[in-house]
Amino acid sequence: MSALILLDYASVLIFALTGALVASRQQLDIVGFAFIACLTAVGGGTLRDVLLDRNPVFWLGNPNYILIACVAALFVFFTAHLVESRYRLLLWLDSFALAVAVPAGVSAAMVMGQSPVIVVLMGMVTGCMGGLMRDVVCNEVPLVLKQGELYVTAAFAGALGAVIAATLTNDPLVILGTCAALTWALRVGSLTLGWRLPVYRARPPRQ
């Protein structure tokens, strides 16, 4: 099994769990759980494949991805009430999902021989868009857009790290491992140490 397929499986599973957790916070029914889990799980990868003109889109060629997302939704539906802080669990699961999905996007673009700019963009799209869709549909403040937090920045840094690593080695484990490590380290730093980017502060116009 190729590295890209393994990364896609891991990304689908973890992002599906985050989608189902958000569904639990919105008190949806079991069909709603499955819908949000699937949307989150395959949203970023679908947009990646459409933009790269990969045919078929990964989950159309292998419906097992949808089955995995539905099983994850079912699991969370019956166990979410046991978790003391679902939001905190969501944040941590989402950080793992980001650290897996960004390398998946990077790998897909590299396999197709795309330029470094496209490799970086596909890593960001794959990592960020599923969670963005999840939060927008569920009417939650998107984690991607939380004020100053390192989310898109973490995805960008991880994808850029992979591009730089690819100039030094052809070993996919090193390239994708660098990508995952950088992405997760920056996201965790934001969650635990408060790492932030400066945000725009409007100044009132002079009279």
Specify whether the CB–CB gap between 2 and 57 falls below 8 A: no
**Which tens digit of pLDDT belongs to each residue from 116-151?**
999 999 999 999 999 999 999 999 989 888 877 899
Helices (H) and strands (E) in the chain, counts: 8, 0
Tell me the helix, strand and coil percentages in the chain, rounded to 5: 75, 0, 25
Helix extents (H) in 26-137: 30-52, 58-61, 64-79, 86-111, 116-137
Say if residues 182 and 150 touch (Cβ distance below 8 Å).
Answer: no
Q: What is the pLDDT of residues 55-103, one digit of tens each?
A: 999 999 999 999 999 999 999 999 999 988 899 999 999 999 999 999 9
- Per the structure block, which two tokens stand in for 207? 């009279």
Residue 205 pLDDT grade (very low, low, confident, very high; cuts 50, 70, 90):
low
